[in-house]
Structure 1
């Protein structure tokens, strides 16, 4: 590469920074800056816009070191702040957060070009992600990609009756108590046999061991709050 690719890496844990930097240093053509402050990261990006700008920003999502004095208290708000001002920088996430609902919301609302799991990444993956980002292409760690596919599949399969059942399930000690509560789109009540059949299908679709596990899986996937 004839010119250095300027990358800013943001994480609140110094050991994580050092670990990621140890992978990045083995990739030719990079100029890397790091900080553990979202406020500093935002200021660095803005201050370099007109002179030698950063091309890529990698950030964690959660920052335990944020205080009441912090203007930007986490990676999601850092991304929002940069996007609000239309800052021309390619943004990726490197984080330990792999909860399906969190991943889904970050990808849907913030559209990062990369979503990589710290602790599982290496030089090869980071290099591949950087090249994809430079080409304005998306790269998600395999585990993240699988979670997003599953979430999309479940969303397609989920109808109003299924959502009603999942919301009512934690409120009742017996499935039979739900009869007379669940309604179809035409207003007709769903019979208990149909409720039990739908529950069986939901357990299969969400790979749940029982109804309690089903509710937990639905919450993880963001189907339930």
Structure 2
């Protein structure tokens, strides 16, 4: 049985490695691969009429296609969901930041999400077999970092959630004490906790609102 796979990565050696590894799959699939090295080339393939693929491997960080506002593998994944709705999406990334991984899972819901430093040839084959059988595969760093991120919900107690909600409603920080039984200094300390939770080193109220929306909190 033949499986058509699109692989997108700006490192040709990585693509060759993936192709060789998948050729050793134990399910008897013949892997027919198409490759692209940047967002523009991938865009042309994905949006081509009558283009069909069973699986699409996407690197997260790729040279952008600025004319079409395609800046990453995540943007390409959204295209895949539109133009190749039956294709299983596999995101591969060198990023291990919890929020990036969480957002990929939340926004794309890929069949597979693997941090490149995590997996060996054997693990890639294991992930491939799980995905072929309609399972979801997350590599070790993905599982651990998302688990840690979600555990930080202790930061979002009732007051912090109220602060986020009021900011999202357009209430300015200086006006928050009139809505909450908290002093302005306490509110500022809580905003530091909120920014820490969102992974924002420095940021204003708009940054807090943006991150809260990304996580579906407001």
Against the structure 1 CA distance between its residues 138 and 95, is the aligned structure 2 distance closer, same or farther, given a 3 Å change threshold?
A: same
Deviations 1:11-50 (A, max 9, x none): 1122322333343333252333322133333443455847
Contact 1:104 1:148 in 2 (8 A): yes
Q: Which runs of 5+ in 2 are unaligned?
A: 165-173, 202-206, 212-218
Shift of 1:91: 0.4
Which stretches of structure 1, 4 residues or more, deviate above 6 A after TM superposition?
Answer: none
Supply the distance in 2 between the matched residues of 1:49 and 1:31 (Cα, whole angstroms): 16
Supply the distance in 2 between the matched residues of 1:107 and 1:120 (Cα, whole angstroms): 17
Shift of 1:108: 0.7
Task: Name the counterpart of 1:120.
Answer: 118
Task: Name the counterpart of 2:36.
Answer: 35
Counterpart selection for 1:189 from 179, 182, 185: 182
Counterpart selection for 2:91 from 83, 93, 110: 93
RMSD over equivalenced CA pairs, Å: 3.8
Task: Name the counterpart of 1:218.
Answer: 197
Counterpart selection for 1:75 from 73, 77, 80: 73
Task: Name the counterpart of 2:54.
Answer: 55
Contact 2:40 2:65 in 1 (8 A): no
Corresponding residue SS for 1:33: strand
Shift of 1:139: 0.7
Task: Name the counterpart of 1:106.
Answer: 104
Supply the distance in 2 between the matched residues of 1:88 and 1:42 (Cα, whole angstroms): 17
Task: Name the counterpart of 2:167.
Answer: none
Q: Give the TM-score normalised by structure 2.
A: 0.68
Contact 1:161 1:182 in 2 (8 A): no
Supply the distance in 2 between the matched residues of 1:216 and 1:156 (Cα, whole angstroms): 13
Against the structure 1 CA distance between its residues 221 and 106, is the aligned structure 2 distance closer, same or farther, given a 3 Å change threshold?
A: farther
